[in-house]
């Protein structure tokens, strides 16, 4: 009774896949935008900042619906992707990754930006005078010193993706084996007359997963400090 | 040889510099906020001049008209900052080798081991910067810059953050770099005592303008320079020859100094503050003061509410005297006076190099 069924394992692995890919996809953008927002001053910075934070305050269902409008079969981008590359985003696991990434992005960006802001910009300038080109100086000094913050941001985005419900179900629906992640599966099981045991097992898995991620990130952060 | 001809608008004033530094070590002296740090940033490429040009020997680093602006990493200027700016996540060894690793092997002029020995960093190599003392950090910063085999080493008040004892301990390393490594240096400081231990060639900067440029002793007494030196605790500096452990000779006049360990025959600088000099019409009798230099009054000026009497004793000495005393003694330009100096008012300075 305690051990999950193969079906539930599928749910677990899908959730892990979506969570990890969501972090991998968001990270480059979060670092780039985090750096821009931390170090650059330009017109429209406030608007860019606002846009980046929008998914944090919008109801997830709205985010999912907007994604559907943009990337659905009739959507502007969805059509291009489908016609040119034969790629389908809506109603696939890729769409689940995208939904989780969009919703989790503000959390990651915020952590990365704060981490970069806390690094003395003069260190990077010192690196330049020592012969490092701008990219090298950024990666070997600023990003390296901001790594604990980047990890925290990644963890937040990962945790947020594990809990993502509204945007996912709106954008990619609740398709078993394709887009049914942990929250969607739990929601499905508790709506079934005999699904309570399965729901309980998945709840337990969620707790273990979230706790494991927290402990892992704390351990990494501690190791970085020493 | 560093050729500078730069113009840059700053918040408070315009930086306008047009000088050539031909000597191995040139010092830039000026009060805080005079544009020294900006000037160094322009040289190392961290800031951009509005117009002008910067070149070292025959390499052009910046040329506004020709559109040349080498990025900092291509300039090969060793920049030592006031705060050492060591990379906190790297060990001393990794900090030292940070710039060295970017350098093509053919361009590496110094071996890391040699620099580590020179700066006595052997025991610190595996430590992180936060476990180092201020003096140790500054030595690592120095080594890190030297190991990039720079065309020029520019130092922005590298000793300001350190206490006097540490300053005295770092100075010999700087002299080693000057003498043994043959890297030209531009040394920024607002402490004349520090500068004179390295070089006599000084550029005096104030509010973005070069007030004077040349040998310190020939420019120090210019009317527009001296007030600047005065307000920054300038002392009269005299080059003298040690003739005994407590006596020096200056222009055939003997001065008593506090006991020092310099060997006879050594040429050193001594420092005397302007307000430690007493003027007298005649050579006094029955006074405990041992030192009396005779000279002739060159000028009497008032700066910043203080009366300064300049006396030619071979070099010019500045003595601070109250207006009442000037009146009572009826001091005039051309008069002969005796400068009285207490033995313990004399500060022993560095060797004349």
Condensed to tens digits (0 to 9), the pLDDT of residues B110-134 reads 999 999 988 889 999 999 999 999 8
Range of the domain at B40: 2-231
pLDDT of A176 higher than 70: yes
Lowest mean pLDDT among A170-179, B165-174, B222-231, B270-279: B222-231
Residue B233 confidence (pLDDT): 54
Query: Distance between alpha carbon B149 and the CA centroid of its chain, in Å?
Result: 23
In order, the DSSP letters of B89-120 are TS-HHHHHHHHHTTS-GGG--S-HHHHHHHTT
Does one domain contain both B243 and B223?
no
Joined together, the tokens standing for residue B123 give 């025991």
Prediction ipTM score: 0.84
Does one domain contain both B259 and B110?
no
Residue A225 confidence (pLDDT): 67
What's the pLDDT band for A184 if we cut at 50, 70, 90? very high
For the stretch A40-50, what's the b/e string if a residue is b when 16 or more beta carbons lie within 10 angstroms of its beta carbon?
eeeeeeeeebe
- The whole-number average pLDDT for the span B309-337 is 85
Does one domain contain both B213 and B158?
yes
Select the more confidently predicted residue: B23 or B5.
B5
Final residue in a domain of this structure, among B231, B262, B297: B231
- The whole-number average pLDDT for the span B163-179 is 80
Does one domain contain both B184 and B266?
no
Angstrom CA distances, A176 to A8, A11, A15, A89, B44, stand at 10, 8, 12, 16, 61
Query: Looking at CA atoms only, how far is residue B144 from chain A in angstroms?
Result: 8
pLDDT of B153 higher than 90: yes
Write A191-200 long-range contacts (CB < 8 A, 24+): A197/A1, A198/A5, A198/A8
Q: What percent of chain B lies above the pLDDT cut of 70?
A: 94
Query: Do the chains contact at B98 and A130, CB–CB below 8 Å?
Result: yes
Q: What's A22-175's CATH class?
A: mainly alpha
Does one domain contain both B134 and B14?
yes
Count H helices and E strands in chain A, helices first: 11, 0
What's the pLDDT band for B350 if we cut at 50, 70, 90? low
Select the more confidently predicted residue: B257 or B162.
B257
- The whole-number average pLDDT for the span B283-305 is 80
CATH number at residue B217: 3.40.50.300
Query: Do the chains contact at A127 and B98, CB–CB below 8 Å?
Result: yes
- The whole-number average pLDDT for the span A78-100 is 89
Does one domain contain both B203 and B271?
no
pLDDT of A181 higher than 70: yes
What's the pLDDT band for B349 if we cut at 50, 70, 90? low
Does one domain contain both B9 and B149?
yes
A74 in B contact zone (CB under 8 Å)? no
Residue B353 confidence (pLDDT): 57
**Nearest C-alpha in A relative to B104:** A131
Final residue in a domain of this structure, among B197, B231, B265: B231
- The whole-number average pLDDT for the span B271-296 is 83
**What is the number of CB-based contacts under 8 A between chain A and chain B?**
57
- The whole-number average pLDDT for the span A150-172 is 92
Final residue in a domain of this structure, among B170, B200, B231: B231
Q: What are phi and psi of B160, to 5 degrees?
A: -60, -40
Query: Distance between alpha carbon B238 and the CA centroid of its chain, in Å?
Result: 16
Query: For residue B217, how many other CB atoms are within 10 A of its CB?
Result: 16
Does one domain contain both B119 and B261?
no
Joined together, the tokens standing for residue A186 give 């739990």
Q: How many domains does chain B have?
A: 2
What mean pLDDT is reported for chain B? 86
Residue in B46, B75, B87 closest to A123 by CB:
B87
Query: Looking at CA atoms only, how far is residue B60 from chain A in angstroms?
Result: 16
Residue B141 confidence (pLDDT): 95
Residue B187 confidence (pLDDT): 92
Residue A207 confidence (pLDDT): 92
Measured between alpha carbons, how far is B125 from B129 in angstroms, rounded to an integer?
A: 10
Q: Would you tell me which residues 114-143 of chain A have a C-beta closer than 8 angstroms to some C-beta of chain B?
A: 120, 122-123, 125-134, 136-137, 140-141
Does one domain contain both B242 and B227?
no
Does one domain contain both B247 and B204?
no
What's the pLDDT band for A217 if we cut at 50, 70, 90? confident
Does one domain contain both B226 and B252?
no
């Amino acid at each position: 009774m305690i051990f999950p069924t193969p079906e539930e394992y599928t749910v677990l692995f899908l959730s892990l896949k979506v969570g990890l890919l969501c972090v991998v996809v968001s990270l480059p953008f979060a670092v780039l935008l985090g750096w821009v927002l931390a170090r650059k001053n330009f017109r429209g910075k406030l608007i860019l900042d606002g846009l980046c934070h929008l998914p944090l305050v919008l109801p997830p269902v709205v985010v999912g619906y907007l994604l559907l409008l943009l990337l659905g079969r009739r959507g502007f981008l969805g059509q291009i992707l489908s016609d040119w590359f034969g790629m389908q985003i809506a109603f696939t696991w890729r769409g689940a990754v995208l939904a989780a990434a969009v919703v989790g992005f503000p959390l990651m960006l915020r952590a990365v930006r704060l981490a970069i802001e806390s690094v003395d910009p003069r260190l990077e300038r010192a690196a330049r005078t020592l012969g490092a080109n701008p990219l090298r100086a950024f990666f070997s000094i600023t990003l390296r010193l901001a790594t604990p913050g980047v990890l925290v941001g990644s963890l937040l985005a990962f945790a947020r993706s594990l809990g993502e419900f509204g945007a996912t179900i709106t954008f990619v629906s609740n398709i078993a084996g394709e887009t049914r992640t942990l929250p969607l599966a739990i929601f499905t099981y508790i709506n079934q007359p005999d699904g309570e045991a399965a729901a309980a097992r998945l709840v337990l898995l969620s707790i273990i997963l979230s706790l494991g991620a927290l402990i892992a990130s704390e351990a990494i952060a501690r190791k970085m400090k020493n | 040889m560093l050729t500078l001809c730069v113009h840059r608008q700053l918040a408070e004033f315009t930086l306008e510099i047009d000088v050539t530094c031909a000597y191995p070590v040139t010092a830039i002296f000026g009060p805080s906020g005079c544009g020294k740090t900006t000037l160094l940033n322009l040289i190392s490429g961290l800031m951009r001049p509005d117009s002008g040009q910067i070149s070292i020997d025959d390499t052009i680093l910046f040329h506004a008209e020709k559109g040349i602006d080498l990025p900092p990493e291509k300039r090969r200027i060793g920049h030592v900052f006031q705060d050492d700016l060591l990379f906190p996540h790297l060990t001393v060894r990794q900090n030292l080798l940070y710039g060295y690793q970017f350098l093509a092997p053919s361009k590496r002029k110094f071996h890391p081991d040699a620099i580590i020995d020179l700066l006595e960093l052997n025991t610190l190599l595996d430590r992180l910067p936060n476990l180092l003392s201020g003096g140790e950090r500054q030595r690592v910063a120095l080594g890190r810059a030297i190991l990039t085999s720079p065309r020029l080493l520019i130092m922005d008040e590298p000793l300001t953050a350190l206490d006097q004892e540490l300053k005295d301990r770092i100075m010999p390393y700087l002299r080693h770099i000057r003498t043994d490594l043959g890297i030209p240096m531009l040394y920024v400081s607002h402490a004349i005592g520090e500068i004179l231990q390295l070089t006599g060639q000084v550029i005096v900067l104030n509010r973005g303008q070069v007030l004077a440029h040349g040998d310190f002793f020939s420019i120090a007494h210019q009317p527009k320079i001296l007030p600047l030196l005065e307000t920054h605790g300038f002392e009269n500096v005299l080059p003298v020859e040690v003739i005994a452990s407590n006596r020096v000779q200056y222009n055939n006049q003997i001065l008593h100094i506090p006991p020092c360990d310099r060997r006879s025959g050594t040429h050193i600088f001594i420092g005397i503050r302007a307000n430690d000099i007493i003027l007298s019409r005649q050579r006094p009798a029955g006074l405990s003061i041992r030192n009396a230099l005779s000279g002739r009054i060159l000028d009497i000026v008032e700066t910043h509410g203080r009366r300064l009497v300049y006396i030619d004793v071979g070099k010019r000495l500045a003595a601070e005297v109250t207006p009442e005393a000037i009146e009572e003694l009826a001091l005039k330009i051309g008069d002969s006076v005796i400068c009285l100096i207490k033995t313990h008012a004399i500060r022993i300075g560095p060797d004349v190099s």
